[in-house]
Amino acid sequence: MKRSLPFIAGAAVLLLLVILSTTGKKPPLIPADKTHRAAISDESCGPCHGPGMPSPLKAIHPPKEQCVHCHQRSR
């Protein structure tokens, strides 16, 4: 019985990961417009997507570093 514990723990972690990856929201694509083609570095996103700017991030937005790590470009 004792030897099955690691297996059960592993299965529980796996299940949790599967649930997280299916219920988590997908990051919206970066629009393929002129503005966004010009924005090539993460630093350039801030001015327009910061607080009080044209398209501010929601308060619940996930970690805000390395935008393009999560947001793919649409083409």
Of 9, 12, 14, 28, the residue at the interface with ligand HEC (CB under 6 A) is: 28
Alpha-carbon Rg of the chain, whole angstroms? 19
The verdict on 63 binding ligand HEC (CB under 6 A) reads yes
What is the number of other CB atoms lying within 10 angstroms of the CB of residue 2? 5
User: Residue 15 Cβ, how far from ligand HEC at the closest point, in Å?
Assistant: 21
> How many angstroms separate the CA atoms of 6 and 23, rounded?
26
The verdict on 14 binding ligand HEC (CB under 6 A) reads no
Q: Which amino acid is at 46?
A: G
2-10, 15-23, 26-34 -> range binding ligand HEC (CB under 6 A)? 26-34
